[in-house]
């Protein structure tokens, strides 16, 4: 079957002597793997050099008995000016690409997530703030993978003040229900309110939300711990990107 769709590049790796395998996140087919034959021998064979998170139009031949399909055409639509010498946008791009690759399953279409990625990429050149927590909350919510922050997981009561985050349960507990998981950690009320706001608000409104430094740090820690616990792996890019963005923020 011949398929055509817009796609962003998540990662690539060499395949044999002349080819590459690329992992794309597409609008119409979800995450797709495909081989681009001969691209290393003749880079001009395709209309894209496959930079990370570039938007391309691809045509691929879907194989029935393999998860790696044949990419027949790949044309660059937009690279969003992500360059290695722009450390901020370069860091955001690699964070976004790895998070998508970790969370999204193969060939499970999700146009809402694809739209979120385009929102992220259109903001990447001049981000008004650190966008990582906003993007993580949005993608976890859209993919149905989000932690539960609406109420206490045990008694279903609304949490107006003190709350504790349980990795094992995948959400919040009130103090009365803390026996359900004594390893649950205290969460700032501002962090809970921020997550709920980001889940329910538009991307543009989320980027206008000003987070206190302590809330921002806790959001990042809670979300990455949740991801590691439930997916079984951490983002490899996280430590380096975190340090780099903190350094760039201190220089601003």
Nearest Cα to Cα of residue 150 among 169, 175, 171 = 171
* Fold of the 2-78 domain: OB fold (Dihydrolipoamide Acetyltransferase, E2P) (2.40.50)
- Residues whose CB is less than 8 angstroms from the CB of residue 132 and which lie 6 or more positions away in sequence, other chains included: 92, 95, 220, 241, 245
Q: What is the pLDDT of residues 217-243, one digit of tens each?
A: 888 888 888 888 877 777 777 767 667
CA distances from 231 to 9, 100, 109, 172, 225 (A): 22, 12, 20, 19, 10
Q: Which of 22-31, 165-174, 224-233: highest mean pLDDT?
A: 22-31
Euclidean distance between CA atoms 167 and 181, whole angstroms: 9
Question: For residues 227 and 234, is the Cβ–Cβ distance under 8 A?
Answer: yes
Euclidean distance between CA atoms 83 and 93, whole angstroms: 10
CATH class held by domain 87-251: mainly alpha
The DSSP letter of residue 105 is P
Give me the chain's average pLDDT, please: 89
Q: What is the pLDDT of residues 29-85, one digit of tens each?
A: 999 999 999 999 998 999 999 999 999 999 999 988 899 999 999 999 999 988 877
Range name among 18-27, 166-175, 235-244 with the lowest pLDDT average: 235-244
- Residues whose CB is less than 8 angstroms from the CB of residue 194 and which lie 6 or more positions away in sequence, other chains included: 133, 209, 211, 215, 219
Place of tokens 């009561």: 157
- Domain boundaries along the sequence of the chain: 2-78, 87-251
Q: Which residues pair with 3 in a beta bridge?
A: 60
Is residue 18 very low, low, confident or very high in pLDDT (cuts 50, 70, 90)?
Answer: very high
Query: What does pTM read for this prediction?
Result: 0.88
Strand, helix or coil for residue 69: strand
């Amino acid at each position: 079957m011949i398929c055509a769709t817009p796609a962003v590049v998540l990662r690539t790796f060499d395949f044999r002597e002349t080819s590459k395998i690329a992992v794309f996140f597409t609008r119409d087919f979800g995450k797709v793997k495909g081989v681009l034959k001969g691209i290393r021998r003749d880079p001009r064979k395709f209309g894209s050099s496959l930079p990370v998170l570039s938007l391309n139009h691809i045509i691929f031949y879907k194989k029935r008995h393999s998860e790696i399909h044949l990419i027949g055409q790949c044309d660059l639509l937009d690279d969003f000016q992500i360059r290695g010498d722009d450390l901020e946008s370069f860091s955001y791009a690699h964070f976004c690409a790895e998070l998508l690759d970790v969370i999204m399953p193969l060939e499970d279409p999700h146009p809402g997530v694809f739209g979120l990625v385009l929102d992220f990429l259109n903001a990447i050149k001049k981000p008004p703030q650190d966008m990582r927590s906003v993007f993580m909350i949005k993608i976890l919510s859209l993919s149905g993978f989000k932690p539960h922050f609406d109420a206490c997981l045990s008694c279903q009561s609304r949490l107006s003040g003190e709350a504790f985050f349980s990795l094992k349960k995948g959400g919040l507990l009130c103090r009365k229900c803390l026996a359900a998981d004594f390893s649950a950690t205290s969460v700032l009320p501002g962090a809970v309110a921020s997550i709920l706001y980001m889940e329910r608000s538009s991307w543009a409104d989320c980027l206008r939300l000003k987070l206190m430094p302590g809330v921002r740090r806790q959001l990042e820690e809670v979300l990455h711990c949740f991801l590691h616990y439930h997916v079984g792996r951490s983002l490899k890019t996280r430590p380096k990107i975190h340090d780099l963005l903190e350094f760039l923020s201190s220089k601003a």
